[in-house]
Amino acid sequence: MDRFTDNISDHLKNYVYRLIDPRNGQTFYVGRGKGNRVFSHVNTEINIDQEDTINLKYKQIREIRLAGLEVIHVIHRHGLDEKSCFEVESALIDAYPGITNEINGEGSSDFGPMNSKEIIDLYSLSYLDFKHNVVMITVNNTAPNRDLYDATRFAWKINIKRAKTANFILSVQKGVVKEVYEVSEWKMATIDNFPEFNLDLPLRFGFKGNLAPQEIRGYYNNKKIPEKYRKKGASNPVKYNF
């Protein structure tokens, strides 16, 4: 199994890497680290019990291994300072849609790729002034593949006790509120609770609900999220104002 010597690690410093599936040549994971971090995913997969539920990254690594092949490890850029490492990783995650990363790159939610209309909206629309306790969910990655309601309600790593005290859910794209929902119930993101998604994600949650009253929607929609909730470097798509 590949491993960097201490001398090589000293030369690499901080680096950004890609994991490539040899079966199709496609990048399926982007990460950053030092030393032998790039090899840690393969090493971890080998030690995961066959009966355990595994995420998409480890599932793909396992499929590659069982096919008698090896993950291709690419050091995309090395010799970086820590800040540059974050930036390069974020740009690569944006450049490879559909990869297995569970978390967006630092700042991807609000500083990633946008078309010209989204840029105009982001810097021309007025900031909203919260009148309620809300959960803001950024759906940049999920919205292109689902309708907005489904993209917003399923499935998130969330503080469920905190989420249940919110008045409304704001669906946010590229820093702008696109819709507002009122939750009737939060449930664990399993097939039994959400058969329409056909996914078991027991460490995540989803909600069922409806559009908020028109007055509420009119107040929040097409307003920008305040800068304090859009700090560059924030990667969590779920935020709270309370």
pLDDT 10s per residue in the chain (242 long)? 678 999 999 999 999 999 999 999 999 999 999 999 999 999 999 888 765 667 889 989 999 999 999 999 999 999 999 999 988 998 888 888 778 886 655 545 556 667 777 777 777 889 999 999 999 999 887 777 789 999 999 999 999 999 999 999 999 988 899 999 999 999 999 999 999 998 888 889 999 999 999 999 999 999 999 988 876 545 678 999 99
Tell which CATH classification among 3.30.70, 3.40.1440, 3.40.50, 3.30.160 matches the domain 6-102: 3.40.1440
Mode of pairing for the β-strands spanning 134-138 and 168-173 = parallel
Whole-structure pTM value? 0.58
Residues sharing a CB contact under 8 Å with residue 99, sequence separation 6 or more, in sequence order = 27, 28, 29, 30, 93
H or E stretch including 57?
A: helix 56-66
So where are the chain's domains?
6-102, 111-240
238-240 β-sheet, strand order: 201-211, 176-189, 168-173, 134-138, 238-240
